[in-house]
Amino acid sequence: MRVCWKFHQQYHCQIVKGSRIAGSPQLQIPPLPSRIEISGMLPENLRIEDTRLRPIAEKVLAGERLSFDEGVTLYKSSDLLALGYLAHHVRVKLHGTRTYFNVNRHINPTNVCVASCKLCAFGRRPDAPGAYTMALEEAYRIAGENWSEAITEFHLVGGLHPDLPFQYYLDLLRGLKQRFPNVHLKGFTAVEIGYFSHLTRLSIREVLEKMKDAGLESLPGGGAEIFAPAVRRVICDHKIGAYTWLKVHRLAHELGMHSNATMLYGHIESAEDRVDHLLQLRKLQDETHGFQTFIPLAFHPANTELGKLVEHTEASGFMDLKNIAVARLLLDNFPHIKAYWIMMTPRVAQLALRFGADDLDGTVVEEKIYHDAGAKTPQALTRAQLIRLIREAGCEPCERDTLYRPVIRTETSITVQA
């Protein structure tokens, strides 16, 4: 299919010729693989310093599923190069050196939030300095700003606003879809969906149905944090628990929407908590096959209450790479593992492409949530910068749409391969 770009008022609009583009409700989404088939021999030249990893390595190379205890062993090992070798082996079996990125824009319609999660530096009370809520026209204007590269995805997340009616979000989705009909709308964490259900007294399924009807096409993975109740009580006790988070995603998958999943690490959680979190995700994926990508997120402590409780400053590069590698090894039914450059810096994200990650996320354009928590990374990368990072790592860049279909660009057109 071929899409031409031309100015319409102040926006670039995509004019579809011939067939439909990403996000069309009529599009048939190819099913994700239910299990990843991997097999191979343990190479003689593979140096495993931590002998506890040897039987796990044999299972990985034989394509066998790893257990809870093996996951804990992976996390407790310091043999990062062996973990990286195994995770990269899985990544290459799945994707070769192909590395995905997309051209997207984040829109955070409000930072007003009734919850007071200790992990968060983004949410504000309505009367707090810096609190904002975008009028709909403002959100549309921001969506169309600096449109130097044709965007294929809007990523929408915000706080839990006590007074904004649910209709605001439906109007936001409809208005964006009307103005940018071919941009995929990925938005609203399970926490926000649960809150809309609470506000409106609609069931979660009804909320999702109404949002889908208004243009929502997939869900991001935020709000999962760590599922372990004891940790959750400390870091985000106002949020929905694991049961509801997983229920929102299960229902979204049942309604035909794909979603992502995250895990926040580097605060007070244990290795066991991380493995428990990953295996709960793996179990749901076995049922629904609706997750596309897993994104490990490092805790950024600046300007957070939780930052005062933890001893260290922020997760190390070592922990970032280990989380990528362990996720790739445990989540044998997730097609993609993302190194979110905003969180782990472009430098470490680039290294992660050799430790199991096959996706760098996107151009982002304006990121608020991690930057409020002290992220020193840029707020945007260009398409050319992402491509350079990927090529330098010896990988093959592949621009994707939200559903991981390759996007081919020329100066005047953009094509999404089915």
With CB under 6 A as the rule, give the number of residues binding ligand SF4: 12
For ligand SF4, give the closer residue by CB, 85 or 265: 265
User: What whole-number distance in Å separates Cα of residue 69 and Cα of residue 169?
Assistant: 43
Which span sits near ligand SF4 by CB under 6 A: 110-118, 126-134, 226-234, 243-251? 110-118
Measured from the CB of residue 117, what is the shortest distance to ligand SF4 in angstroms? 3
Stretch that binds ligand SF4, among 111-119, 210-218, 360-368, 376-384 (CB under 6 A): 111-119
Which one, 192 or 399, has the nearer CB to ligand SF4?
192
Does position 123 interact with ligand SF4 (CB under 6 A)? The reply is: yes
Residue pair 389/349 in contact (Cβ under 8 Å)? The answer is yes
Q: In this complex, which beta carbon is closest to ligand SF4, that of residue 224 or of residue 403?
A: 224
Q: Which of residues 227-266 bind ligand SF4 (CB under 6 A)?
A: 236, 239
The structure tokens 């001893």 sit at 311
Q: Which stretch binds ligand SF4 (CB under 6 A): 33-41, 119-127, 321-329, 408-416?
A: 119-127
Among the listed residues 117, 151, 326, 364, the single contact to ligand SF4 using CB under 6 A: 117
CA distances from 48 to 43, 55, 80, 320 (A): 11, 11, 10, 20
**Rule CB under 6 A: is residue 375 a binding residue for ligand SF4?**
no
Binders of ligand SF4 among 189-208, rule CB under 6 A?
191
Distance between CA atoms of 265 and 276, rounded to whole angstroms?
13
115 touches ligand SF4 (CB under 6 A): yes
Q: Does 107 bind ligand SF4 (CB under 6 A)?
A: no
Position 92 contacts ligand SF4 (CB under 6 A): no
How near is the Cβ of 171 to ligand SF4 at its closest, in Å?
Answer: 21
How many angstroms separate the CA atoms of 362 and 360, rounded? 6
CA distances from 156 to 59, 111, 118, 188, 218 (A): 39, 12, 22, 6, 10
Could you say whether residue 220 binds ligand SF4 (CB under 6 A)?
Answer: no
Return all residues near 137 (Cβ < 8 A) that are at least 6 apart: none
Smallest separation, CB 173 to ligand SF4 (Å): 19
User: Is position 414 an interface residue for ligand SF4 (rule: CB under 6 A)?
Assistant: no
Cβ closest to ligand SF4, residue 36 vs residue 115: 115
Q: 324 and 356 in contact (C-beta within 8 Å)?
A: yes
Residue 372: closest CA among 268, 297, 309, 300: 300
Place of tokens 């990286």: 84
Residue type, 171: D
Q: How far is the CB of 92 from ligand SF4 (least distance, A)?
A: 35
Q: How far is the CB of 166 from ligand SF4 (least distance, A)?
A: 17
**CA 362, CA 383: separation in Å to the nearest integer?**
8
Piece in contact with ligand SF4 (CB under 6 A), picked from 116-124, 302-310, 344-352, 399-407: 116-124
For the record, the structure tokens of 289 come out as 């096959």
User: If you count them, how many residues does the chain have?
Assistant: 418
114: which 2 tokens?
């009734």
Which listed range, 14-22, 112-120, 315-323, 403-411, lies at the site for ligand SF4 (CB under 6 A)? Answer: 112-120
DSSP secondary structure letters along 7-52: EETTEEEEEEESS--TT-TTPPPPPPPSS--------TT---SSTT
Q: Is 298 near ligand SF4 (CB under 6 A)? A: no
Q: Please report whether residue 122 would count as binding ligand SF4 according to CB under 6 A.
A: yes
* 279 CB neighbour count, 10 Å cutoff: 17
Question: Does 188 engage in binding with ligand SF4 (CB under 6 A)?
Answer: no
Interface residues with ligand SF4 (CB under 6 A) are: 113, 115-117, 120, 122-123, 159-160, 191, 236, 239
